[in-house]
Chain A
Amino acid sequence: MPSHDLSSPPAPRRSICRSGWLAAPGLLWMGLFFLAPLALVFAISFASRGTYGGIIWEFTATNYLDLLHPLYGKILGQSLWYATLTTAICFVLGFPLAYTIARSPARWQPVLLLLVMLPFWTNFLVRTYAWMIVLRQDGLVNGLLLSLGIVAAPLELLYTPTAVVIGLVYGYLPFMVLPLYVAVERLDPLLVEAAWDLYASRWAVFTRVVVPLTMPGIVGGCVLVFIPSIGSFITPDLLGGARSMMIGNLIQHEYLVVRDWPLGSAVSFVLMAIVMAAVALYYRHAARTAEALEGR
């Protein structure tokens, strides 16, 4: 029978179960195996490479200056281009999809969303491999084009930038659809109706009513697609050729093939800076939206 003195307030419970120290092991783990390695990469990015692949610990910015070389510049540039193109295509495909789902009968919406998300839960390698079968020289697309007489000889589809962008769109389309769905679902259909009633053109309804009101979802979706696209490795590795390399492949190449760890580290931090810029952009937009809502 637990005794409880009712005359005095219970003493503050200060056992281990009620203290923040419970978080310590996890925090220690993340410090040791996440922050420390990142700090190590950062430090190495300012060191230089020894003759036999080792590291010489002398401060230098050479690695970052080396990245200005046209060869690396080209890889950085095309990575940005592929990621931007992927984001744009995801938006063009994802917006109608999200809109259709959000405006379909309520009991169908969870099913349709699940259908969009389901491929995402399968192994990324396997999903990318599926595109290799579809796109290769004797693959489905070429077979279809040949039999319909659209092309005379099979097209070079696999191992091209096009294949990389298709793979990226395929991999990250669900990231665009989900935030857009949430935004469209909140959009009052009456506002769209009102625009129609005022004889707005289809384009005007879209750009003046739908887009501004779903902006948080659009920005969210774009950032969620852009981040994994810019940092991707598997897609360009499997679907791209030597000339459609992206930053992720360059990092892997520098670390495992060339064994120039300082340069690989510098590339990693450039990639991280791009990702962080995208995240910052998102937060700034979210803060501004919150401010605008409060100002109402």
Chain B
Amino acid sequence: MRRGSTGLSLVSGLAMLFLYGPILVLVLYSFNAAHLSTAWRGTTLKWYAALWHDEALLAATANSLLIAVISTLGATVLGGLMALGMERMPLRRQQIIESGLALPLVIPEVMMGVALMLLFVTLKMPLGLTTVMLGHIVFNIPLVTIMIRARLRKLDPALREAAADLGADSWQVFRHVTLPFLRPAIWGAVLVAFTVSLDDFLVTFFTAGPGATTLPLKVYSMIKSGVTPEINALSALLLVISMACVAVSLHLQRREV
């Protein structure tokens, strides 16, 4: 729309301001020395320093990392095998499983959370780190399967046939042809699963017991109580870390194309 282009650019600029304004404000306030008000009282790093001495926060971070590592491992193995297995199935069955796998991605997370909580309570499983991990594997399996399947579809069948014709058994074909080809997708899936697990609040909220506080749960309680500006520093730190992770993953992907 050539004649409307100034208006369009204006709205686009506003949309960008809308997207980044609050983030910038948050980062700025994390350096504010004022304790209670949002008025500016000089620059400080003391809220960042306070993070290092917050034992509960460090424990929550350790919990989050442990859950993310285990659930990423579990989901990558189960989801990867699922992608490989689905490939051998009749097309109709593949489609059924595929639409089934979309379900966890569309149903509201709050519902997945309460459903898992009900299951664990019914099975009389004590809520804790284990139940959180089990739950995180559930929402990560579809992500991993979809990503690996997408890559698997691009694998030229002739490559595997050639290897088989040269006498490779099916394990050797997998080990020397399929796996190397899938490697970028596997790393991508690992990265996504790890991030999603680390960021998850709702499923964790419903499936974690009192002793299993994760970083997002801690952030939530700090926001809710709102007593210390430490939360500003923590939030700013998390923002910067996530953005750096995205940058690194994009860089990796570009290199592997």
Contacts and interface: CB of A to CB of B under 8 A. Distances in A.
B87 to A, nearest CB: 8
Contact of A119 (B19, B116, B168): B19
B51 interface: no
A115 B243 CA distance: 11
Contacts of B82: 22-23, 25-27
Contact of A33 (B25, B137, B220, B223): B137
A265 B19 CA distance: 35
Interface in A228-275: 228, 230-234, 238, 248, 251-252, 255, 261, 264-265, 268, 271-272, 275
- Interface residue tally of chain A, by bracket? 35 or more
A129 interface: yes
Contacts of B235: 123, 126, 129-130
Contact of A251 (B11, B103, B114, B216): B114
Interface string B72-101: 000000110110111011000100010011
26 contacts: A2-B167, A2-B169, A4-B165, A18-B170, A20-B85, A20-B88, A22-B81, A25-B78, A25-B81, A30-B100, A30-B101, A33-B119, A34-B103, A94-B15, A122-B238, A123-B199, A123-B239, A125-B201, A130-B25, A138-B39, A173-B19, A234-B202, A251-B110, A255-B117, A265-B114, A279-B106
Interface stretch (A36-44, A59-67, A213-221, A288-296): A36-44
Contacts of A136: 38
Nearest to B234: A126
Interface residues of B, number: 89
Interface stretch (B2-10, B42-50, B53-61, B151-159): B2-10
Contact of B170 (A2, A13, A124, A210): A13
B26 A130 contact: yes
A69 interface: no
A144 to B, nearest CB: 11
Contacts of B101: 30
Interface string B111-122: 110111111001
